[in-house]
Structure 1
Amino acid sequence: MKPIRLQSVNIKTPWAGDYLSNLRKLETGVGIVREVCAYKKSENSILNSEYEGMNLRDLISLHQKELMGDDTSDQMIRAAYIDAKEDLSIQVHPNQEYAEKVENDFGKSESWYVLQCDEDTSVIAGCNTDDQELLRHAAINGNIEKYLTRINVKPGDFIYIPAGIIHACGKGTLVMEIGSFGGVTYRMYDYGRGRELHLDKGFQVLDTSLSANKKEFPLKARNKNGIRTGVESKEFKVDVIDTIGIQRIFKENKYHIVTCVLNDCDIIIDKEKYCLHYTETLLIPASVKEYEIRGDCRILCSYRP
């Protein structure tokens, strides 16, 4: 099975920036760009001519073994850009047990890789109190931020956001969000934008003991080929692959989602070249056993552990 090109799904948001819109010539107001998604009613369309008219869920169903390998799921790791001019809502996601029981859905853990950000930019991940009544009162009265943990970020940082942690992506950022299957978000505070809040369910799933894990992969430190673990959880793993010239990747019977997050590169598979420009994503099926990266670039490679 050849690599799969997917049509991005663009979503307008009240907090949208314009970095990705300018880069890709999108209409204004697009804050979320879903690169890989098989979630209900959000599936990417397939751009490969041999699968014309199909979406990603169709492809998984019809070509399970070739595409997914040993993974018998009908879902796939989700990858999306968040382009934020303003702070996103403060929110929390349920774990697998709660999501199955209450929402008939999947749990949601995620991660953020920072491509671009303003100086002195931060994200919210975790809180500095275990008093949920205090937090509820603060959410209602609009001063919840003082009880939350802010983490300063810069390009090349990677942050893991487990299900149950209160969090919000910060203004002035372009991040790649890579996460598990779920699509349930409980909004705890929204800066007066008038959207629905979900405080009752949010506080049922909130775990005040959780904290975020940040790893730093400085762009200026790139001077040789290397593969390092950006994020690893039971649901998904992301490798940070730096290539200076040529690097060959050998893989197990798993799909790889490869996203170019620095410069441009070429992916070589069976002597065929697939150009991958900055921010573009390519889905490499499980049936492909090895591929080559050529260029001066950084790739995020996402897959099931």
Structure 2
Amino acid sequence: MGKAGIGPIRLEPVYKKAIWAGERLKKIRGLQEDGIGICREVCAYKGSENRVEEGQFKGCRIDQVIADYRRELMGPDDSGQLVRVAYMDTREDLSIQVHPNEEQAERIGDFEKSESWYILEADPGAYITAGVNCTDKATLRNAAESGDMEQYLVRIPVKAGDFAMIPAGLVHACGKDMLALEVGSFGGITYRLYDYGRGRPLDLDKGMEILDPSLRCELVHTQEKVPGVPRPLVRHRLFSADVLDVEGVWTLDGYEGYRILCCVEGACRIIWDGEEYPLPYTKTLLIPAGCGPVEIRGNARLLMAWKV
């Protein structure tokens, strides 16, 4: 540890192939493999944990670090449930899905899965699916089974800088031709409702039971730059997020819990205890609760995520 406590933690990204993957992540990260659709940046969920990439905890799973240094890393949050962060790079529409809320997830021994999306890049005409225009679940199920569900899906146009909150129970999916950052709660249950005829199994019994056709999504538009002022994107009991534009120098201080910093535009450097941590486009750093002040230098837009 440095004199100020545990310093910033960089986790090894976990890359996952997907049939709907685009090529943005491959180009940005210089990857050799094709078909990478998901880049898991921060996750402590059982079986999906990231490992620490460098420093004193190099090679350790992040859940092990939390277990050994809970107060220093998590602050007042004693759950051990880090906010989950991942990139999605889409060439085709993702399957239509729904996630359980806290009560529903507890019945099967898991945790609520609510999430949100920040759009980094999007082609003209890009959209997300968020909600349905039919309140009758039997009608929705028949449409899913017959391959005709698209008529009931609510499509919302999006562009770079848009942010969408996707609560548990909302029927949803990222659309094609975009790069999105997903910030969400600790849970890991997904029920697939519709897959555009791609042949993967559906979870209609469980999915139809938990979906809430009354739920809707409202976008937050953040295209305007406001340097040096963190702007709230979402306040959920399981996760929060701000967007921050940095032009020059900005100091992150005065917080009790951890902060996850994701560079969603430009590039910057994080300075802590005399050490420098580069944070280029799409990269992520975990700032522990016991880290103390960190200085951010550069011209960048950061998404900051944490649990309240």
TM class, shorter-length: over 0.9
The CA distance in 2 between the partners of 1:136 and 1:79, in whole Å, is 31
Report the alpha carbon displacement of residue 295 of structure 1 after superposing the two structures with TM: 1.1
Q: What aligned pairs does 1:114-153 form with structure 2 within 5 A after superposition?
A: 114-153=119-158
1:81 corresponding residue in structure 2: 87
The CA distance in 1 between the partners of 2:174 and 2:285, in whole Å, is 25
Whether the 8 Å contact between 1:253 and 1:289 is mirrored in structure 2 is no
Identity %: 49
Equivalent AA in structure 2 for residue 161 of structure 1: I
2:160 corresponding residue in structure 1: 155
Output one character per residue of 1:165-218: Cα deviation in whole Å (capped at 9) or x when no partner: 000100001000000001100000011111110000001110011101210001
The CA distance in 2 between the partners of 1:179 and 1:251, in whole Å, is 23
Equivalent AA in structure 2 for residue 177 of structure 1: E
1:64 corresponding residue in structure 2: 70
Give the aligned length.
302
Cα gap change, 1:223/1:130 in structure 2, threshold over 3 Å: closer, same or farther? closer
1:258 corresponding residue in structure 2: 261
Whether the 8 Å contact between 1:223 and 1:244 is mirrored in structure 2 is no
Tell me the secondary structure at the aligned position of residue 50 of structure 1: coil
**RMSD of aligned alpha carbons:** 1.0
The CA distance in 1 between the partners of 2:221 and 2:11, in whole Å, is 29
1:277 corresponding residue in structure 2: 280
Q: Structure 2: which 5+ runs fail to align? A: 1-5
Output one character per residue of 1:40-70: Cα deviation in whole Å (capped at 9) or x when no partner: 1111111124223311111111111111111
Deviates more, 1:65-74 or 1:46-55: 46-55
2:60 corresponding residue in structure 1: 54
Does residue 289 (structure 1) correspond to residue 258 (structure 2)? The answer is no
Report the alpha carbon displacement of residue 2 of structure 1 after superposing the two structures with TM: 0.9
Whether the 8 Å contact between 2:227 and 2:244 is mirrored in structure 1 is no
1:93 corresponding residue in structure 2: 99
Equivalent AA in structure 1 for residue 72 of structure 2: E
Whether the 8 Å contact between 1:126 and 1:166 is mirrored in structure 2 is yes
The CA distance in 1 between the partners of 2:248 and 2:254, in whole Å, is 20
Equivalent AA in structure 1 for residue 70 of structure 2: Q
2:16 corresponding residue in structure 1: 11
1:226 corresponding residue in structure 2: 229
Does residue 174 (structure 1) correspond to residue 158 (structure 2)? The answer is no
Output one character per residue of 1:112-156: Cα deviation in whole Å (capped at 9) or x when no partner: 000001101100001111111111111111111111111100000
Aligned counterpart for 2:301 among listed residues 272, 281, 298: 298
TM-score normalized by structure 2?
Answer: 0.96
The CA distance in 1 between the partners of 2:254 and 2:195, in whole Å, is 42
The CA distance in 2 between the partners of 1:70 and 1:260, in whole Å, is 25
Segments of 4+ in structure 1 off by > 3 A? none
Equivalent AA in structure 2 for residue 99 of structure 1: A
The CA distance in 1 between the partners of 2:256 and 2:111, in whole Å, is 24
